[in-house]
Structure 1
Amino acid sequence: MIKIIFIFAITVSVILLLSEQSSYAQSTPTVNLTKIISEDKELRLCPTCSNRVDVLYESPNTVALSSDYIDLIWKGVDVIKKHGYKIDDVVSYTTTSYTGTGSINTMVVMSK
């Protein structure tokens, strides 16, 4: 009899714990930052140009942005900050094409 009561208590505790986690997951909507960045008109060089800020990685806790336009990457950072992210790291690196022309790219890693 004690074993049955013990098993019942454990089962009820697990069900309550799972229902709390499920309601938490439902109450925190996920935001598609890639879509938000791609649709932001301020992140384009011209009205008909494609977006010049790329989302390299996105998760509920982390986002990584990249661009070879220094002014646009910071506009992208401002867009992401509105969703509760903060800057963790900034890296600049040079790329060179086979023709010998190069550009400076910037990557910003942000987290909640």
Structure 2
Amino acid sequence: MKIRRCSIASGRRHDQAILFTTPIIGIIGVSHSLELGIISMSAHCLGGLYLSPDLDLVSKPYKRWGWLRWIWIPYQKYIPHRSPLSHAPLLGSTIRLLYFSALLLPFWFIFPGLRQVE
């Protein structure tokens, strides 16, 4: 009897899922308005490709950040790989968004013009 090994989700599969579902998200958004469709499709695609749970290790999403990848080094140091803190759907996403928002917060004060974006 041959034992089949469970395959671990790869970054490639994650990227394929994001790219496959992006137009679906856009269609749902466009059913309300063109602007909402464009915004939701862009947010889904960029968020899925750049704010992946695999930012907790040196991975494709980490490398996509280019010269800005250094901002994820503290996150990698303190968030264990495949823990609920990085991979639980709501908790992991919330932690990554809060982490990234905390990094952007100083720009809100340094550049007051950003507050006037509508």
TM-score after normalising by structure 2: 0.27
Bigger Rg, structure 1 or 2: 1
Which is bigger in relative contact order (C-alpha 8 A, separation at least 6)? 1
Which structure is higher in strand share?
A: 1
